[in-house]
Amino acid sequence: MMSFQITIEDSGEVYSCKETQHLLAGMIQLGKKGIPVGCRSGGCGVCKVKIHSGEYTTKKMSRDHISVEEEAQGVVLACRVLPKGNISLSVIGHLHKAVMR
């Protein structure tokens, strides 16, 4: 099973995420806190991130939180993204302001 490096640009944190884990699960498993955690099933929109680089696949995301246009620009819910390579992202979810203090 492959593991990939996930970099949270806002905080500079880097963690490993298995290809079978969504980005949020990998972060939680390692006790990291860079991405806000909500319902973990795509329904709340708290873990919204923008992926700047890297390959990934997505599971179905709520259009209440992620529009087709946003998804095309790499804006996704971390709980619905599986890495296929190293990923660099920034947080745009609810706790973004807290990260930037």
- Predicted pLDDT at 7: 97
- Predicted pLDDT at 94: 62
For 58, counting Cβ atoms within 10 Å of its Cβ (0-12 exposed, 13-18 middle, 19+ buried), the class is middle
Dihedral over alpha carbons 16, 81, 79, 99 (to 10 degrees): 60
For the chain, give the longest Cα–Cα distance.
37
- Predicted pLDDT at 29: 87
pLDDT tens per residue, the chain (101 residues)? 899 999 999 889 999 999 999 999 999 988 888 899 999 899 899 999 999 999 999 999 889 999 999 999 999 999 999 999 999 999 996 644 444 43
Cβ(10)–Cβ(34) under 8 Å? yes
Looking up tokens 């990934």, which residue turns up? 56
Of 65, 70, 72, whose CA–CA distance to 93 is shortest? 65
- Predicted pLDDT at 97: 45
Alpha helices in the chain (DSSP H): 23-29, 68-72, 96-99
- Predicted pLDDT at 96: 44
